[in-house]
Amino acid sequence: MSKSLARVTSALQAAGLDCVPLEMAAETRTAQQAADAAGCGLDQIVKSILFAGADSGRLYLFLTAGGNQVDLAKASVLAGEILERAEARQVREVTGFAIGGVSPLGHLTPCPEFFDPRLLDFPQVWGAAGTPRHIFPIAPADLLRITGARLADFTA
């Protein structure tokens, strides 16, 4: 088991959840690939999108439904600073995950998280489990609780 997958699995177990990451036959790097692999709707995929503060360099994580796009202006207001796309190197250093497998939990360094209300419309959603081939099913209310994310409107 990779270190990234082990961190996600440990975070789920530490939260007292029985969610087990599943290895998919195909890659799950994109929301559409993950939805196809899980056999669910696109919006049931939790995208982990990271932005960096233009002044602070701090990372902010936005957990959004697969079909939604983060509105950078709304996200910047929530963060309290202008945001820009985070660089792949910084994402890996802070979260411990490579882009295409960034999990909503199990990060090396915690960062502020925001949660798309659209995800709460489903009994189950799927999040990346730290690799480009692993995802895990979870009730969105559980995901919101264990991540400590703030429920907020930040989509276009």
Residue 114 domain flag = yes
Residue 43 domain flag = yes
Those residues with Cβ within 8 angstroms of residue 153's Cβ, 6 or more apart along the chain or in another chain: 74, 117
The yes-or-no verdict on residue 1 having pLDDT over 90 is no
Question: What does the radius of gyration of the chain's CA atoms come to, in whole angstroms?
Answer: 14
Residue 156 domain flag = no
| pLDDT tens for each residue of 101-120 | 999 999 999 999 999 999 99
Buried b (16+ CB within 10 A) or exposed e, 24-61: beeebbebebbbebbebebbbbbbbbbbbbeeeebbbb
Distance CA 3, CA 97 (A): 10
Strand-pair partners of 128: 135
CATH number at residue 84: 3.90.960.10
pTM of the predicted model as reported, rounded to 2 decimal places: 0.96
Mean pLDDT, residues 80-103 = 96
Structurally, the chain folds into a number of domains equal to 1
Cα 27 to its chain centre, rounded Å, is 16
Q: Mean pLDDT score of the chain, rounded to an integer? A: 97
Residue 39 belongs to what domain range?
3-151
Residue 61 domain flag = yes
